[in-house]
Structure 1
Amino acid sequence: MLDSVQKHLKLYKIRRKVDIDPCLDLSLWAVLPGEQSGYVSSTLDKYKDKTLILTPDPRAEVMGWRLVMSKETNPLEVVPGSQIGNIKEYHRHRYKQGIPEGAEDIPPGVALPLESNLAYMNGISFTKGCYIGQELTARTHHMGVIRKRLLPVQLSAPLLSGRIPEGSDILTESGKSAGKYRAGGDELGIALLRLANINELLHINLPGDTTVNLTATVPKWWPKPANK
């Protein structure tokens, strides 16, 4: 993963004298909000000498904060009253909120920025200069016709074994295609769905004549109107 990120960033360095090197002495933490979500912000000045970066996650308020600091520093010293979770809990939180992340959720060369809700997450500028795909993205945005979006989905029950294959077809009760399953864990996941079908009964047919039912929800953090 690290090698692929470095390779991608170097494509855009062009002739600039910029060095791109990994900082292996630093660690990255996601500080997910709890009941007192404003508490982390109030500690920023008090504990800033122990961190390199402590900033709100730019994607959505429901994702809390991003913390970058030395691997030798205990994150509990920076955010008192918190507890250390694991990567599975982090992914469960973002699946529940419908926050895409990485190549599984946003496949390179396949996913479209607006369908992936990047405009909702400060991931697209409609005022800056040219970028790859700008014309199509801007035209679609201003026309306001976005028929599919990434949405959080919940299975009727966790799978007993294995996981749903990426790209599995999601079908309506009548067998009509409603979208594609992207990724998930246990009973939570994220899927690209037609907005016209999100209130219908949906299911996925798995090998072995197994059918998994699922429901989709519109995240509360989306701006209104949600289907623009």
Structure 2
Amino acid sequence: MYLRLRQQLMEYFLLENREVIAISGTDRGKFLQGIISNDIGKINLDSYIYALMLTPQGKLLYDFFIIERDNSYLLDCPKPFVEEIVKKFNVYKLRSDISIDRLTDHKIFASFSKLNNLFLPDPRNAELGFRAIIDPSISLIGAPLDIRKYDLKRMELLIPDMVSDLESGTYFPLELHLDELNAIDYKKGCYVGQEVTARTHYRGVVRKNIYRIEVIDGEQLEPKTNIYLGEKKVGQTLGFVGSQGLGLLRTEEIETAKDLLFTAHQSYIRIIF
């Protein structure tokens, strides 16, 4: 009876904008190590790693949560880009002994508490709780919660979503603080986009940063709406949940205007510090 009660109290979110790719074969580790921004050697059965795939110019293409299962790496990927990802992997694999498969029947869940052993810590920030890749043989009790609750928490932590907040191939990962979210290992070997990323890191020059923003008067804004301080453009919006959102703004302009109102389209916004 007690176990049943605990099952009924499960609270979780279905991440419908993510899909699973499996990479198997004897060269799977070497293959991924040359592509992703994190160290494949950190992966084990009990934890995900968070990693990025970048353009040669160092801009963010896709993000991945990766775990090892049954002699394969499972990649939790942004769903709208899965076909592109598979095509790029096939270009890079050359004669490597790997197999790339889409697991469209698997689902990805998140929860602020550890519901069972399949839920493992989110590698980006402990306050985001846990993630799980669930195959069709397993079902969770109850219905998923409103995803907006999860997204508001994510935004509070300054964590952008690859699908709802970002445009592939547009942003540098350090502008989005993705290195602080454990997405980049500066000690690993080469990967696509590594040189630009490392140079930016060691020089310490990042002119834009991600901020929380709030619409206090006006309509809800779309991503990539220009933000102005007076007549001067200082950045752009990213995604929103209601009036709460994220923006990518020029740090020098923002730090000297903390208490001022900004405009975007016909709306007034404030920066939440």
TM-score (norm 1): 0.72
Correspondence list, 1:25-174, <5 A: 25-32=105-112, 40=114, 47-48=116-117, 51=118, 54-76=119-141, 84-156=144-216, 159=219, 163-172=220-229, 174=230
| Matched letter for residue 129 of structure 2 | G
| Equivalent AA in structure 1 for residue 186 of structure 2 | F
Amino acid at match of 1:75: L
SS in 2 for 1:102: coil
The structure 1 residue matched to 2:99, chosen from 15, 19, 42, is 19
Letter in 2 for 1:20: I
Instruction: Tell me, yes or no, if the aligned pair for 1:153 and 1:216 is still in contact at 8 Å.
Output: yes
2:271 maps to 1:216: yes
Q: Name the structure 2 match of 1:222.
A: none
**Contact 2:223–2:239 (8 Å) recurs in 1:** yes
Write the distance in 2 (CA, Å) between the matches of 1:72 and 1:158: 47
1:204 aligns to what?
A: 263
Q: Which has the higher contact order (CA 8 A, sep 6+)?
A: 2
2: CA distance, partners of 1:88 / 1:59: 19
3-state DSSP class of the match of 1:120? Answer: coil
| Mapped partners of 1:11, 1:86: distance in 2 | 38
Change (3 A) 1:195 1:152: same
Asked if structure 2 preserves the Cα contact closer than 8 Å seen for 1:96 and 1:188, the reply is: no
CA distance in structure 2 between the partners assigned to 1:158 and 1:28 by the alignment: 35
Q: Which has the higher helix share?
A: 1
Aligned-pair CA distance for 1:170: 0.8
One-letter amino acid matched to 2:110: A
Counterpart secondary structure, 1:135: helix
Cα distance in structure 1, aligned partners of 2:195 and 2:259: 33
Distance 1:56 1:157, change over 3 A: farther
Letter in 1 for 2:235: G
Measure, in 2, the Cα distance between the counterparts of 1:72 and 1:87: 23
Query: 2:214, 2:205 → 1: CA distance?
Result: 26
Equivalents in 1 of 2:156, 2:208: separation in Å? 18
Deviation at 1:10, TM superposition (A): 3.0
SS of aligned partner of 2:221: coil
User: Do the aligned residues in 1 keep the contact of 2:166 with 2:239 (CA within 8 Å)?
Assistant: no
Kept after mapping to 2: 8 A contact 1:182/1:191:
yes
2:244 partner letter: L
CA distance in 1 between partners of 2:217 and 2:154 (Å): 19
Instruction: Please give the secondary structure, in 2, of the residue aligned with 1:20.
Output: strand
Give the 5 Å matches for 1:175-190.
Answer: 175-190=231-246
Q: State the aligned residue count.
A: 190
Taking a change above 3 Å as real, the CA distance of residues 85 and 127 of structure 1, as seen in their structure-2 partners, is: same
| 8 Å Cα contact 2:200-2:206 kept in structure 1 | yes
Q: Are the structure 2 counterparts of residues 103 and 12 from structure 1 closer, same or farther at C-alpha, using a change threshold of 3 Å?
A: farther
Q: Give the direction of change, closer, same or farther, for the CA distance of 1:188–1:73 in structure 2 (3 Å limit).
A: same
Alpha carbons of structure 1 residues 158 and 23: separation in structure 2 relative to 1, 3 Å: farther
Unaligned runs of 5+ in 1: 34-39, 78-82, 219-228
